[in-house]
């Protein structure tokens, strides 16, 4: 039997018992009688709810932080749920989905059919049987704009998502972990959002001494790109550890980290990308719309003025067909000789350290006027145009549609990014450029 569930299903959370099958003729009779009653009738609504409950074995819920999913159809016989991301008017692309499924028994195989390609349909979905530990399903089967994941669940409840979720609570817990693990780490509040939420941030390292280097790391200007927060988590875990090179980096630099910039969109499960009036990574202007962007710009400008800024890295996930991490770099024509020297050095250290399972093999792309008409409002371009000429600003795009795009894979990229930053800062980016190494004068 096929039940057209509609959106009511997403918040249904009653206790579920396997119902006795209701003969088709009986269902039609019930529908016919009920249809004689006015729509507002208590009897009609109660009967409809009871009928729906009885027919619904599988239950889909999204009423939790970052939840998203509009149920289109549940086929109880085939144990198949068809859904697409919830739409949030004006809140960006509908590509993120994250649902809790119950109403089945441990050991059953559940099928999840999700659309639409390409943004909402990773080759493998993220899956959890405890809501905390995330793994991947097997590769799904594509049919047009839809993909079907079949997964045998070893528990009576399961969570499925576009990728491993990283919620506002995860951001707070990461920061709590860091401050508990290391006395050089401190939590602070970047700002309060337009919807009244706190954007938590982390500062790691010493802020004294004129030689202190400065690093700014941020993730999730685009809310759906949850993998970027996992990269951020890997970096934080490494940076507060006793790894000798993490200790060295903490002694040399102060590192500011924002694990989730667009916390409002992440909280409600909206995509965020291209939201109204524009998304966070098109907002770096004289009059930013988003408080997190305004606060980040202010702090970065202060640190630049105080000679405490060397490196800015914005963490993202790219398009569906990308299989390896790459960096977006500012248009080369914006770069002074010193900034270009430093960018090349940073890319070389990233290539040396980000070695897999998601390796950076040297690919870069420019995002200038030909990329987007608001290119000057992209964060790394704004930083490039508004900081001292030794500062490197770049965007790391970590591939999300691979078998390594897991919590462990992302965290490896974050840890390796930390190693790259440590190696990069072994040389002083503020050193004057040597005459004989100016770009264009010699082969590099």
Q: Which residues bind Zn ion (CB under 5 A)?
A: 222, 225, 316
Q: Which residues pair with 442 in a beta bridge?
A: 439
Shortest Å, Cβ 113 to Zn ion? 26
Shortest Å, Cβ 274 to Zn ion? 10
Nearer to Zn ion, 225 or 264 (CB): 225
| Angle made by CA atoms 298, 301, 307, in degrees to the nearest 5 | 140
> How close are the terminal C-alpha atoms of the chain, in Å?
67
Shortest Å, Cβ 278 to Zn ion? 13
Bridge pairing between strands 126-128 and 157-161: antiparallel
Shortest Å, Cβ 365 to Zn ion? 13
Nearer to Zn ion, 12 or 93 (CB): 93
Shortest Å, Cβ 317 to Zn ion? 6
Shortest Å, Cβ 234 to Zn ion? 18
* Rounded Cα distance, 259 and 170, in Å: 9
Q: Sign of the CA dihedral 369, 374, 378, 381?
A: positive
* 98-102: strand order across its sheet: 59-61, 98-102, 157-161, 126-128, 135-136
Residue with tokens 């009423």: 63
Quick check: 153 and 125 in contact, CB under 8 A?
A: no
Nearer to Zn ion, 222 or 339 (CB): 222
Shortest Å, Cβ 89 to Zn ion? 21
Shortest Å, Cβ 424 to Zn ion? 23
Torsion of CA 417, 328, 407, 202, to 10 degrees: 60
Helix (H, G, I), strand (E, B) or coil at 61: strand
Nearer to Zn ion, 252 or 316 (CB): 316
3-state SS string for 64-120: CCCCECEEEEEECCCCEEEEECCCCCCCCCCCCCEEEEECCCCCCEEEEEEECCCCC
Closest by CA to 162, choosing from 231, 105, 116, is: 116
Q: Which residues pair with 393 in a beta bridge?
A: 312
What stretch of H or E contains 293?
helix 291-305
Shortest Å, Cβ 76 to Zn ion? 38
Nearer to Zn ion, 308 or 316 (CB): 316
Nearer to Zn ion, 228 or 387 (CB): 228
Nearer to Zn ion, 83 or 396 (CB): 396
Nearer to Zn ion, 101 or 270 (CB): 270
* Rounded Cα distance, 29 and 43, in Å: 15
Tokens for 262?
């667009």
Helix (H, G, I), strand (E, B) or coil at 37: coil
Shortest Å, Cβ 262 to Zn ion? 10
Nearer to Zn ion, 262 or 310 (CB): 262
Nearer to Zn ion, 228 or 349 (CB): 228
Quick check: 14 and 52 in contact, CB under 8 A?
A: no
């Amino acid at each position: 039997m096929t039940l057209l569930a509609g959106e009511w299903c997403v918040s249904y959370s009653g206790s579920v018992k396997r119902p006795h099958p209701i003969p088709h003729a009986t269902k039609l009779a019930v529908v016919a009688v009920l249809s004689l009653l006015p729509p507002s009738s208590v009897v009609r609504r109660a009967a409809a709810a009871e009928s729906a409950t009885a027919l619904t074995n599988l239950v889909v819920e999204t009423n939790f932080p970052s939840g998203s999913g509009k149920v289109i159809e549940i086929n109880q016989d085939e144990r198949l749920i068809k859904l697409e991301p919830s739409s949030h008017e004006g809140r960006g692309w509908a590509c993120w989905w994250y649902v809790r499924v119950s109403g089945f028994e441990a050991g059953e195989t559940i099928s999840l059919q999700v659309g639409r390609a390409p943004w909402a349909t990773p080759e493998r979905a993220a899956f959890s049987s405890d809501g905390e530990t995330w793994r991947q399903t097997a590769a799904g089967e594509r049919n047009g704009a839809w993909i079907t994941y079949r997964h045998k669940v070893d528990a009576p409840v399961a969570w499925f998502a576009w990728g491993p979720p990283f919620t506002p609570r995860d951001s707070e817990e990461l920061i709590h972990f860091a401050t508990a693990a290391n006395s050089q780490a401190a939590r602070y509040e970047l700002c309060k959002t337009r919807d009244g939420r706190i954007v938590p941030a982390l500062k790691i390292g010493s802020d004294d001494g004129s030689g202190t280097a400065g690093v700014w790391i941020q993730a999730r200007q685009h809310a759906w790109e949850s993998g970027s927060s996992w990269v951020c988590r890997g970096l934080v875990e490494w940076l507060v550890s006793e790894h000798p090179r993490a200790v060295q980096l903490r002694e040399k630099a102060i590192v500011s980290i924002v694990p989730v910039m667009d916390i409002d969109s992440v909280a409600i499960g909206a995509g965020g990308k291209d939201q109204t009036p524009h998304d966070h990574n098109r907002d770096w202007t004289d009059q930013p719309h988003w408080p997190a962007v305004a606060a980040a710009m202010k702090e970065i400008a202060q640190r630049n003025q105080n000679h405490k800024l060397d490196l800015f890295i914005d963490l993202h996930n790219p398009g569906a067909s990308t299989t390896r991490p790459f960096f977006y770099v500012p248009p080369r024509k914006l770069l002074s000789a010193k900034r270009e020297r430093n960018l090349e050095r940073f890319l070389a250290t990233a290539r040396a350290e980000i070695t897999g399972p998601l390796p950076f093999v040297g690919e870069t792309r420019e995002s200038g006027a030909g990329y987007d008409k608001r290119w000057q409002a992209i964060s790394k371009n704004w930083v490039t145009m508004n900081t001292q000429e030794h500062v490197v600003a770049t965007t790391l795009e970590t591939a999300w549609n691979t078998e390594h795009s897991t919590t462990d894979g992302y965290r490896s990229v974050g840890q390796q990014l930390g190693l790259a930053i440590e190696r990069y800062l072994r040389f002083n980016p503020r050193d004057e450029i040597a005459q004989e190494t100016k770009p264009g004068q010699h082969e590099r």
